[in-house]
Homo-oligomer: A and B are copies of this chain.
Amino acid sequence: MSEYVEHAASGSSVGRVEKKFFTFAEPPRPLIVESGKALGPVTLAYETYGELDADAGNAVLVLHALSGDSHAAGYYDKSDPKPGWWDLMIGPGKPIDTDRYFVICANVIGGCMGSTGPSSPDPATGKPYGLTFPVITIGDMVRAQKRLVEHLGIKKLLCAIGGSMGGMQVLEWAVRYPDMVRSAVPLATTTKHSALAIAFNEVARQAIMADPKWNCGNYYDGEKPGHGLAVARMIGHITYLSDEAMRQKFDRRLQDRCEISFNFEEADFQVESYLRYQGQKFVDRFDANAFLYVTKAADYFNLEATHGAGSVVSAFAKAKCRFLVASFSSDWLYPTYQSRAMVQAMKKNGLDVSFVEIEAKWGHDAFLLPNSRLSGMIDSFLDRAAADAKKEAGHAL
């Protein structure tokens, strides 16, 4: 908690922000996604904070995780109860310092927070795509982001940064567009999902598809498959916390009661109540089909298969940027050994890599929580990238 206070005190808010939209791939020139299908037009919902330099060399692209969105910092309205999802990291005087950097965050395609996804209207029918939306990949998400970055007049990102599924996009950026990325910060992530991570996503998808209201993805003119989506989210929330975090947060404490209930309706334990609450809250803000699409994209992600013919060393042979890789000691969804493997592959290619395993008890979610070590490392890493950029710009003159 003291750390949080420290952070809240250092740096300030980017203030009021606005969701913007960029549309491309208008027919007859649709985006051909990795599966071979055509998608168009494609809209990205995005936000920017700070000012782009005259030479467009200070752009930091922030990539969000599974259920995230473009709203990474600030607030839409003064009455908003919460700021953007990474507000502790982004703002004036914060590690991703909007007094120095131009920060961009876009909602992924396949999602449901303003970018084109399964709940968007299919121009061919005027009705939501549902399952006729093409299955997309992390590569497709990144290709769409590239169009936005170019549209904003940026030739090379100062940094691509993100955690979890956001970290996968960081890795994809670094390997797919090596000349467009000066530095990259993949946090709490992996080059490919383990069987365990796939298993959790699969069960979550099955929970959604088991809900009769899901109706093969056609539910937009009726009731949502809320029960299935809530169960899916609960499964996710278990994987975001560690055993120790759950013990400290809930242990076996009862929820608003002195005795166990001896029934099934009420939540006996705080952890049950927490999960039910998280499940319900998610139903109010997220689309069930979008959950299927983004989890599938994460499961399909396989950096070495796509870019290295099965070798992670070969995949990183394509990268040119400097890396800061961080894992979290209690993250059992993407454990440290997975980060170590990518760091080794980067090093075998002679890439400049800093790696840290951060001692944190909060499990996978730790990358979103206040941590002075992480903040400090990101701060210095961006500083160094900015110095590199200045030097290079100087040479170019």
Contacts and interface: CB of A to CB of B under 8 A. Distances in A.
B332 A199 contact: no
A347 to B, nearest CB: 23
A228 B272 CA distance: 18
A207 interface: yes
Given A269-B299, A271-B198, A35 B238 contact: no
A296 B263 CA distance: 9
A350 interface: no
A273 B296 CA distance: 15
Interface residues of A, number: 56
A213 to B, nearest CB: 9
A213 B227 CA distance: 13
A141 interface: no
Interface string A198-213: 1110110111011110
Contacts of A276: 202, 206
B251 A195 contact: yes
A264 to B, nearest CB: 6
A10 interface: no
A210 B230 contact: yes
Contacts of A228: 210
A151 interface: no
A248 to B, nearest CB: 9
A196 B210 CA distance: 24
A354 interface: no
A199 B231 contact: no
Contact of A269 (B198, B207, B243): B198
Contacts of A211: 210
A227 B210 contact: yes
Nearest to A333: B243
Contact of A203 (B134, B196, B234): B234
B205 A243 contact: no
Nearest to A37: B262
B196 A238 contact: yes
B202 A264 contact: no
Nearest to A250: B195
Contacts of A235: 203, 235
A152 interface: no
A275 interface: yes
A241 to B, nearest CB: 8
Nearest to A279: B206
A141 B267 CA distance: 23
Interface in A240-284: 241, 243, 246-247, 249-252, 260, 262-264, 267-272, 275-276, 279
Interface string A67-110: 00000000000000000000000000000000000000000000
Interface in A94-136: 131, 134-135
A186 interface: no
B131 A264 contact: yes
Nearest to A131: B264
Interface in A187-225: 192-196, 198-200, 202-203, 205-207, 209-212
16 contacts: A135-B262, A135-B263, A135-B264, A193-B252, A195-B251, A195-B271, A198-B252, A198-B271, A199-B275, A206-B231, A206-B276, A209-B264, A210-B210, A210-B231, A231-B231, A243-B332
10 tightest Cβ-Cβ pairs between the two chains A and B: A210-B227, A195-B246, A35-B262, A135-B262, A195-B250, A195-B271, A203-B234, A202-B272, A196-B243, A196-B246
